[in-house]
Chains A and B, each alone.
Chain A
């Protein structure tokens, strides 16, 4: 215990990571009935966490990776170690998480004001922040898994926050269960590693994989299994459908979950043990395929929906696919960088959408547009900034990270991945600007009917005042994020330096981490190097033009005067339907679950229990009692019959002994 207070770094880590947990406990137990206090507590604690994270980043920016660990328990030959691993990646991620969570909580002060579950909301937010931060700095895969699950749990509560709504609770359940499916794979992978390798420490794993301390078979198998976790958490194909449904949660929750935290956790985990993954070529190849498929599929879905949040949800999935593609093709930094920038602009997009939704009480982009969405200047500007970043337009942050990814992809021997990446970029730009144009240039102009008109005088003013507080609580985080999106891209090189720096760092972890990071550096440098050498300008042009092409198509269809405001896909209803219904994946799952599980196994097993097992037992009982009735026939009351029985038995006994 004493060590925590002696070591400021450790103290900051422990405090920052765990303060939200205590906040949650305090809120749930004590301040449940005082929403104001609850929210203040929560925001305060997450702010402290964010500060801790930033200061850690600052303090350790040039320091070697740090590892704290303690033996949590021993069972047999199994040593379960808990600890923190502070290296550039985790510090970066910790900072991102801290900041985004903090911003979202501030935003929620406005967005959630007046909600009956205000305290509960903040309790879960704190829980989520706690789980996420601990996951990020986890020192071992098992610890990572534990908090990974906790993240899932917190997201379950947050997604299903409006539990009176059936669809919300359904979405929460779906998210949790689908995550679980992936997690089981993850879990099995961990067990496999535990049995085959005996240690789940992250540096050790990375080291062992790169120095061939692990057999190839075990490596591939466990890597594939662990990748299942990524599939689940980061909503990769085929487990991607929970994410759009998860939009049932409050918008800030979506922002939090789908920008930097929960869904990014999968990608984070991928990059966390990237050297380990890169030890297995097959696993990487598999991940690449999955990432590509996911990206294309979800982009296609985003093209047809009119729901604001759905668009961003699909977009998140597709961007995650991008990141997985990047990582899977060796672009360690590209993936992490895109994760970083994406965290910024996706949070921005969601939060802006949240303002629209809060204002217009609808998710439909067409209605928002008609009702004058563009009149809300700040969010309108910001959302455009976000969309530009998403589309990869210079100088927004998305441009840089997307370029990095494309260059990595281009370095792949098979150019199909690069083509897919480009195509994805086109689609991304298309659907994001489809949305922007819908709001900015609605069909038939704005209907001049303000929804506040029917409110009375004084209450109106009061509302305005209140509105102001609420509005600014939401607007300030948005503006901050917009600013970040603008400038973050230019931090590429320092960041790259930071992330890839550790190669030459001597230190206590050099033995473990050094080699691992060398590999990272090697692989990444190889990828990037190829890209830069092979045709940097060419790539640049291609990337930018892809984005612009998408925007142009969107403008043609939605933006220009007299545009039909119908997507080109509406000409092919079958495909529209296909996209709209998420490639029938949900239908497939639902049907499968209904027919195979509920109608099939469950009723079969229930029937088996009732009829065969219970029936058998009851049958035994009935048989026993029946044989009682049968035997009572021997006691028929007829004296001579009884005597006959007696004499026959005696006679038989006599005969038995004689013969």
Chain B
């Protein structure tokens, strides 16, 4: 539990799961949820490095805090775009957004 690599592996797992979600969820909100996983994985990394390696433990924490804030803003923007799409397309599935190509 006190080893860096445990945390790193967990964060890698979370990150990969997030990627998987982004890649195969068709529900846009589902994708957004997966994005949150990505950010959290990175946060976990920061915290872990902070704990085990960094000279100044404040940095990682502050970064994590700011990323949370950003994530909130991002979620707000993302959800609003999804809602707008829903109002236009009556769907929040990814299929609603694949007409532009070539």
Contact = CB atoms under 8 A, between A and B. Distances in A.
Interface of A: 632, 635-640, 643-644, 647
Interface string B79-102: 000000000000000100111111
B102 A632 contact: yes
B3 interface: no
B101 A643 contact: no
B98 A637 contact: yes
B97 A647 contact: no
16 contacts: A632-B102, A635-B102, A636-B98, A637-B99, A637-B102, A638-B94, A638-B98, A638-B101, A639-B97, A639-B98, A640-B22, A640-B26, A643-B22, A644-B23, A647-B22, A647-B23
3 nearest CB pairs, A to B: A637-B101, A637-B98, A638-B98
Interface in B53-102: 94, 97-102
A647 B19 CA distance: 8
A643 B99 contact: no
Interface of B: 19, 22-24, 26, 94, 97-102
A635 B101 contact: yes
A639 B99 CA distance: 10
Contacts of B22: 640, 643, 647
Contacts of A644: 23
A640 B24 contact: yes
B102 A639 contact: no
Contacts of A647: 19, 22-23
A626 to B, nearest CB: 14
Contacts of A637: 98-102
Given A644-B23, A647-B23, A639 B94 contact: yes
Nearest to A638: B98
Contacts of B19: 647
A636 B101 CA distance: 5
A637 B97 CA distance: 8
A643 B102 contact: no
Contacts of B23: 640, 643-644, 647
A323 B31 CA distance: 104
A640 B99 contact: no
Given A647-B19, A647-B23, A640 B94 contact: yes
A635 B98 CA distance: 10
A640 B22 CA distance: 7
Contacts of A632: 101-102
A643 B102 CA distance: 16
A38 B102 CA distance: 75
Nearest to B20: A647
Nearest to A637: B101
A655 to B, nearest CB: 13
B12 to A, nearest CB: 11
A625 to B, nearest CB: 13
A647 B15 CA distance: 12
Given A640-B26, A643-B22, A643-B23, 20 more contacts: A632-B101, A632-B102, A635-B101, A635-B102, A636-B98, A636-B101, A637-B98, A637-B99, A637-B101, A637-B102, A638-B98, A638-B101, A639-B97, A639-B98, A640-B23, A640-B24, A644-B23, A647-B19, A647-B22, A647-B23
A635 B99 CA distance: 11
B42 to A, nearest CB: 14
A643 B94 CA distance: 12
A313 to B, nearest CB: 75
A639 B26 CA distance: 10
A637 B26 CA distance: 14
B79 to A, nearest CB: 17
Nearest to B22: A643
By CB atoms of chain B within 10 A, which of A638, A640, A647 has the most?
A640
B35 to A, nearest CB: 11
B81 to A, nearest CB: 13
A644 B23 CA distance: 6
A520 B97 CA distance: 102
A160 to B, nearest CB: 62
Nearest to B102: A632
A632 to B, nearest CB: 5
A638 B98 CA distance: 5
Contacts of A638: 94, 98, 101
Contacts of A636: 98, 101
Nearest to A629: B102
A62 B90 CA distance: 119
Contacts of B94: 638-640
A650 to B, nearest CB: 9
B31 to A, nearest CB: 8
A134 to B, nearest CB: 73
Contacts of B99: 637
Contacts of B98: 636-639
A37 to B, nearest CB: 76
A252 B44 CA distance: 111
B23 to A, nearest CB: 5
B83 to A, nearest CB: 17
A241 to B, nearest CB: 67
Contacts of A643: 22-23
B41 to A, nearest CB: 14
A636 B24 CA distance: 16
By CB atoms of chain B within 10 A, which of A637, A638, A639 has the most?
A639
A212 B84 CA distance: 105
A651 B40 CA distance: 19
Contacts of B26: 640
A657 to B, nearest CB: 15
B72 to A, nearest CB: 23
A640 B102 CA distance: 15
B19 to A, nearest CB: 6
A644 B24 CA distance: 9
A8 to B, nearest CB: 89
B45 to A, nearest CB: 14
Contacts of A640: 22-24, 26, 94
Nearest to B100: A637
By CB atoms of chain A within 10 A, which of B24, B99, B101 has the most?
B101
A638 B95 CA distance: 8
Contacts of A635: 101-102
A573 B64 CA distance: 115
Nearest to B95: A638
A638 B26 CA distance: 11
Nearest to A636: B101
A647 B18 CA distance: 12
A643 B99 CA distance: 16
A443 to B, nearest CB: 90
